[in-house]
């Protein structure tokens, strides 16, 4: 007759522990514990539909859900699967992060990020920076690595910067630069540049295999030895061995 029906499981004092509505929804008055050797909670019936767990917050909801059409497990913002995803895991167990990733610890020598490969072959694990531009241009940056620390006034200071640059994007004749910056007297200074097979110290435009550019009237190269050991500079041609 259209009347809403509910079933309650409760206590003799009138408090309900569990309520089942005629729409099939189940409400618990307190926490739920799954006990046993292999406790399992299954959401879904193997059908072609999305499933989710929604965390109903006061100001903001979050969800963990299965996007069945994409076969992705998603953690996101809101209550609808696929809305504002933060982390997506696909069927190949590849995880994609939609925003920044921060690891924080107050313990000495922590946090540590480890990339480990246990396959018994000669290949190694990889850290990949991918600048996937729809309109690539000369001098596009490929990636940056920053190292920050506080100065004695408590200011966060960019102490070291390593950046990669695609200086020429012409197909078949690409050129790149890997540049290292350090702080010198409070200013960020380009210290070492590996430029298309050449090396520049104090210059980002080396003219030879090794190009050193220093201050005027200063020593450009100093070679020292320890104790009684000798010091020297040997310059050889290919024919001299």
Per-residue model confidence as pLDDT tens digits over 211-232? 999 877 777 788 777 766 666 7
Query: Phi, psi at residue 110, to the nearest 5°?
Result: -125, 155
Mean of per-residue pLDDT scores for the chain: 89
Q: Chain-centre distance of CA 191, in angstroms?
A: 26
Q: Return the pLDDT at 8.
A: 67
Burial class (CB in 10 A: 0-12, 13-18, 19+), 82: middle
Structure tokens at 67: 């996007």
Burial class (CB in 10 A: 0-12, 13-18, 19+), 203: middle
Per-residue model confidence as pLDDT tens digits over 107-147? 999 999 999 999 999 999 999 999 999 999 999 999 999 99
Residue 175 has pLDDT above 90, yes or no: yes
Q: Return the pLDDT at 84.
A: 94
| pLDDT-based confidence at residue 159 (cuts at 50, 70, 90) | very high
Q: Return the pLDDT at 13.
A: 63
Structure tokens at 39: 């406790």
3-state secondary structure of 238: helix
84: left (phi > 0), else alpha (psi -120 to 50), else beta?
left
As a whole number of angstroms, the distance between CA 55 and CA 32 comes to 15
């Amino acid at each position: 007759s259209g009347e809403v029906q509910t079933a309650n499981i409760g206590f003799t004092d009138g408090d309900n522990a569990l309520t089942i509505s005629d729409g099939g929804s189940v409400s618990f008055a307190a926490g739920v514990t799954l006990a046993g050797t292999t406790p399992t909670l299954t959401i879904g019936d193997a059908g072609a539909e999305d499933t989710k767990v929604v965390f109903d917050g006061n100001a903001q909801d979050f969800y963990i859900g299965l996007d069945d059409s994409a076969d992705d497990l998603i953690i996101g913002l809101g209550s609808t699967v696929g809305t504002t995803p933060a982390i997506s895991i696909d069927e190949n167990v590849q995880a994609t992060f939609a925003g920044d990733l921060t690891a924080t610890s107050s313990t000495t020598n922590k946090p540590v990020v480890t990339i480990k490969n246990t396959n018994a072959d000669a290949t190694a694990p990889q850290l990949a920076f991918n600048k996937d531009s729809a309109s690539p241009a000369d001098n596009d940056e490929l990636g940056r690595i920053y190292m920050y620390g506080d100065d004695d006034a408590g200011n966060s200071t960019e102490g070291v910067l390593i950046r990669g640059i695609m200086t020429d994007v012409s197909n078949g004749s690409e050129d790149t630069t890997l540049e290292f910056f350090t702080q010198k007297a409070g200013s960020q200074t380009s210290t070492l540049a590996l430029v298309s097979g050449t090396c520049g110290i104090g210059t980002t435009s080396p003219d030879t295999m090794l190009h050193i550019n220093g201050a005027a009237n200063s020593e450009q190269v100093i070679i020292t030895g320890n104790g009684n050991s000798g010091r020297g500079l040997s310059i050889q041609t290919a024919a001299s061995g």
